[in-house]
Amino acid sequence: NAGVMQNPRHLVRRRGQEARLRCSPMKGHSHVYWYRQLPEEGLKFMVYLQKENIIDESGMPKERFSAEFPKEGPSILRIQQVVRGDSAAYFCASSPRPETDTQYFGPGTRLTVL
């Protein structure tokens, strides 16, 4: 049973470009969470999605960031017009049910903005 998959593992963008991060949850999991981690810091919640629905995006910056989890395909975290401060590791997690609470994490995408 494959775990949570994320790609790309490393992404380099220049300021002003767009970054698209993909996450495929574990098989049977329909709940996806995105977190951001700065070096030597903990993970900060960004957004929680179910299939085709954003349930909680309270941790997402109001501008330039968006997320989706379509009926078919992976969840996408999109960052438009990236700035150097967006450089971080972005982790996706999934769970079978929110009330289970145990979230299983992917390996992360490390975004570097030049």
Partner 1 sequence: GESVGLHLPTLSVQEGDNSIINCAYSNSASDYFIWYKQESGKGPQFIIDIRSNMDKRQGQRVTVLLNKTVKHLSLQIAATQPGDSAVYFCAESHTGGFKTIFGAGTRLFVKA
Q: Which residues contact partner 1 by CB under 8 A? A: 4, 6, 31, 33, 35, 40-45, 48, 55-56, 58-59, 91, 93, 98-99, 101-108
| Secondary structure letter of residue 96 according to DSSP | S
Q: What are the tokens at 18?
A: 């767009």
Q: What is the DSSP string of 20-81?
A: EEEEEPPTT--EEEEEEE-TTS-EEEEEEEETTEEEE-TTS-SSSEEEE--SSS-EEEEE-S
Q: Which C-beta is closer to partner 1: that of 17 or that of 29?
A: 29
State in angstroms the smallest separation of the CB of 29 from partner 1.
13
Shortest Cβ 48–partner 1 spacing (Å) = 5
Helix (H, G, I), strand (E, B) or coil at 86: helix
C-beta separation of 37 from 88 below 8 A:
yes
Tell me the closest approach of the beta carbon of residue 16 to partner 1, in angstroms. 28
Nearer to partner 1 by Cβ, of 6 and 19: the residue is 6
Closest approach of partner 1 to the CB of residue 34, in Å? 12
Nearer to partner 1, 81 or 100 (CB): 100
Find where tokens 């078919």 sit.
72
Whichever of 33 and 65 has its CB closer to partner 1, that residue is: 33
